[in-house]
A and B are shown apart, each in its own frame.
Chain A
């Protein structure tokens, strides 16, 4: 029996890039450019990649990881403001199980000649997980990162 539960979490990631927002935004705006960096890990075998970059449009990245895990990212764009902001909702599947439903907000801010990118994820993480992660690794990671992750 699946134990039903949901955990809500928000986290932020910030990056600075030495090119203007127009260039950074462009890397999100076409399937060709996005495929150059938005990908699975090394050895990822892609089953399907599609992208319709506009409010209401859908995106999918579905494939098999080198370890055999099959992941499926399915998104829908809610806001696309050129060079400024992208908002999309997505669910993430792993081996046919829905892991999470999230809202992702990407903000592009001019900072001098470059860009400050702010990414915020607000997620509902679903129904527990295979509890195979190592205790030591989990503990260490939490201690190092958790203070920064929580807002």
Chain B
């Protein structure tokens, strides 16, 4: 599971792959549909899809000559919770720290 999530985050660290995932979060698409908005060859897109598939972010199936890709939601929501909660909790607190500092401009300085 740890290796799985490592590969998940490595897969999503690439902006092209995030764009592919973003497209797939709106619904399944064929490989050639996915390649169209990107200025890259079909094999390059297939390679990105391979990384996403290995990481469990994307699943695909071939029907006839068309390979259709879709997002694999489980991997995403697992990882979402822990970083999201921790990071937003930190951001909220550090913002509150700023508000506190702004509201208390004349605090007496501590003597050493």
Contact = CB atoms under 8 A, between A and B. Distances in A.
Interface of B: 1-2, 5-6, 9, 12-13, 15, 18, 21-22, 25, 71, 73-74, 76-84, 86-87, 90-102, 104-105, 107, 109-110, 112
Given A13-B90, A17-B98, A131 B74 contact: yes
Nearest to B13: A150
A149 interface: yes
A38 B93 contact: yes
Given A133-B81, A135-B73, A142-B12, A17 B97 contact: yes
Interface of A: 3, 5-9, 11, 13, 15, 17-19, 22-24, 26-27, 29, 33, 36-39, 41, 82, 92, 99-100, 102, 117, 119, 121, 123, 125, 128-143, 145-147, 149-150
B77 A5 contact: no
Contacts, number: 140
B77 A121 contact: no
A138 B21 CA distance: 12
A11 B83 contact: yes
Contacts of A39: 93, 96
21 contacts: A9-B9, A9-B82, A9-B83, A15-B98, A23-B109, A36-B96, A38-B93, A38-B96, A82-B112, A99-B82, A121-B86, A135-B71, A138-B80, A139-B71, A142-B12, A142-B18, A143-B22, A145-B84, A146-B12, A146-B13, A147-B13
